[in-house]
Structure formats: C-alpha cells, structure tokens
Amino acid sequence: MKKYQLMAPGPTPVPPNVLLAMARPIIHHRAAEYDALFREVREDLKRLVQTEQDVLTPACTGTGAMEAAVANTLSAGDRVIVVNAGAFAQRWLAIAKAFGLAVVELEAPHGETVPPDRLAQALREHADVKAVLVQHSESSTGVLHDVRGYAQVTRGSDAILIVDAVSSLGIAELPMDAWGIDVVVSASQKGLMLPPGLGLLALSEKAWAAAKRSKLPKFYLDLSEERKYTARNEARFTPAVSIMVGLREVLRMIAEEGLPNVVRRHDRLSRAARAGAEALGLTLFPKTTPSPALTAVQVPSGVDADRVVEGFARSHNITIDGGRGPTKGKIIRIGHMGYVGDFDVTTGLAALEQVLHDLGHPVDFGASLRAAQKVFAERG
C-alpha cells in the first residue's frame, strides 16, 4: 500500500474536518444559517489579514483575484511597476498588458529578488506610477520578496502597492495595515487548506480611493459593488458556498493554533526541508530570502528534475512539482504549507533520498532526516 501524499506548491492538502464540513448538505446563501457563517468568516478574515477593512471573497481563482485588483484600481494608460522575478510575476505583466497599462519592469533572475532600493529608484524616475505589482512568495522559484520594504518605499508616493499573497497568506508574516500594504490578493488553495475556487481581496482606503478613479471595465469582479454587499453581510452573487463552509473551519483551526504559531510552524518546516536538502549535497535554488511555503532545490548534474518528480509519484505516491519556464528540468519544488507537520517533511525527504538513489545519484541515507530532526529539536 502506498498512502497518497500531496506535497506540491499548491493546491495543498485539505484537513479531514474541513472535508467533512464541506460534505454536509448545501445551504442557501440567503438563509439565516449562511448569514451567521458569513458574519463569522468576515471577522476572522480581518484577523488573518490583519486589517480593519473587509476581506472580499469572490468565487474565482487567485488569477481572477489578481485581475480584479488591477481592473478595480487602474485605468488604461496608467503606468505601473512590476517586480518580475518568476512565473507569477509574469502573470502580473500579462494582466497589466491586457488592460492597456504602461509597464515598468524591475527584473531579477529567477531565484533572486529585487531589493527595495531598486523600487525606490524606479519610483523616483517615474513619478507618475499609479501602482506597484509584486508577489510576496514567488512559488515558481521559492523566493520571498521583501514586501515590508516595498511598502515602506511606496508609502511616500502616490502609487498603491498590490501584493499577490496567494502562497503567503496564512504562511508568512503579512500584517496588511501595519506594513501599509494597499491591496492583498490571495486564494483558497494554499495556506488556507481549501480546494481552489475562492479569491480573497482586501483594499486599503488609499486603494479604495484609486478604485473610485478607475475606468477599466468590470462587472462580475466589480469590487466596489462587492464591498457594498459585504458591508450588509450579503452575497452579491451566488458564493462558493461549500468552500465558505470549509473556510469557517479553517479559520477556526488557525485561531486555535494562533496565527503567530502558524507562521512559526511554516518557518520551522521550511528550515528543516532546506537543511535536509543541503545535507544531501543539493543546492537550494533561491539565492536570497527563501519562502516558507515551499523548498526549491536544484537537482544534481546529470539528473533530470522531471524524472525526480516522476519518481516521487511512481515509487512513493507523493506529488511534488518541477520548475516552470527557464527552470523546467532543473529544479524540484516541494510544498510544505497549510495542513503540514514535521513528519510530512521527513517523509518527503526520505522519498527524495530513495528517488535520487534510484536515479543513480550517490546518497548518504538518513543524512537529510538527521538534519531535519535537528531543526525540529530546536523547539526543546
């Protein structure tokens, strides 16, 4: 028997109690039961995002929420800065170009990040910039961008800071109001431990002011309309009812563990995974701050990363992922976000040792596990 284990960088495992909650008979979104659920979820989402603003929950993917952030705050011809260091930053580029925005691209090689001083310089050179579009956790490369630093340099300008937090919300520290982030964009299928299908957006007052000026077309994802309904505790359109039911369970789980503890757990899991990979002589792909959501590792010379991914699936029934674009065939990406504990990481590392051995790479069996266990032992 091979127990299935999902260790991809998203979607992520859904806890059994959340699955059971979502399997209950469907409820009507205009009934009193949903009214109570929505009210609870709204307050808990504010605590998760750490904002006084309502967190909007349109039924869409993370990409839909990214598009909504652009369409609701900008107008055709507006100049924006895109921090581009990976595949999901290129999605910002595609969305911006689709809406006729003028793009200033701050590019860094995959595996690296753009320091805040480069953003500050770009803002000085382009005083008419209306928005800065960034990822927090770039899951295509395993890098965590310095969003706090970006917020500090953006705050003094007229630009709003729009942050893709799809693979960082509920994983890494991200206090929206305290850091001065203007738009937080996220989705249900990563740190929130739910199936795909729910977008999350929170806008600052500065961003809502930009929304009033926006001339880009929108209907379904008109956030100003969504905000009016949410303030009345109503759904504008039919919501993703079952996912919202699951979200209530997830938010209760996060509250029980405590958000600071959730962040510390993800940091510990990522440090253990990185220590394990390095103990096998592997090179971590991120050259700078690694994301706590996943570990991206370069495969040894002569080993095809896609064969490592296949080996995980075929021999161990574990799903991980490889690289995208220029990193395809060169790196593997192992997710450890959401419903993940210490032994999930050690299981993944044990499988990595076996797969590398099967592919003819010399392995010191147990080395990665010893390194990971040392990290876990730091808790005392």
What pLDDT is attached to residue 315?
A: 97
The answer to whether 348 touches 334, Cβ cutoff 8 Å, is yes
The pLDDT mean for the chain works out to: 98
The answer to whether 160 touches 314, Cβ cutoff 8 Å, is no
Mean pLDDT across 276-283: 98
Query: For residue 122, what are the contacts with CB-CB under 8 A and spacing of at least 6?
Result: 81, 104, 106, 129
Could you read off the pLDDT of 176-202 as tens digits, one per residue? 999 999 999 999 999 999 999 999 999
SS (H, E, C) 268-322: HHHHHHHHHHHHCCCEECCCCCECCCEEEEECCCCCCHHHHHHHHHHHHCEECEE
Residues pairing with 294 in the sheet: 335
Query: For residue 62, what are the contacts with CB-CB under 8 A and spacing of at least 6?
Result: 164, 166, 185, 186, 187, 189, 196, 199
Strand residues in 165-214 grouped as ranges (E):
183-187, 199-203
Distance CA(35)–CA(289), nearest Å, equals 42
Burial (CB < 10 A; 0-12, 13-18, 19+), residue 39, is exposed
SS (H, E, C) 139-174: CCCCEECCHHHHHHHHHCCCCEEEEECCCCCCCCCC
Is the pLDDT assigned to residue 2 strictly greater than 90?
no
Could you read off the pLDDT of 75-105 as tens digits, one per residue? 999 999 999 999 999 999 999 999 999 999 9
The answer to whether 87 touches 140, Cβ cutoff 8 Å, is yes
Distance CA(131)–CA(78), nearest Å, equals 8
Mean pLDDT across 113-128: 98
Distance CA(17)–CA(42), nearest Å, equals 20
Distance CA(215)–CA(74), nearest Å, equals 7
Name which of 94, 11, 293, 50 is nearest 184 in CA terms.
50
Domains of the chain: 5-11+258-377 (3.90.1150.10), 16-256 (3.40.640.10)
Query: For residue 44, what are the contacts with CB-CB under 8 A and spacing of at least 6?
Result: 248, 251, 252, 254, 255
Name which of 268, 266, 134 is nearest 192 in CA terms.
266
Q: Which two tokens stand for residue 275?
A: 């220590």
What pLDDT is attached to residue 379?
A: 73
This prediction has a pTM of 0.98
Q: Quick one: which H or E segment has residue 328?
A: none
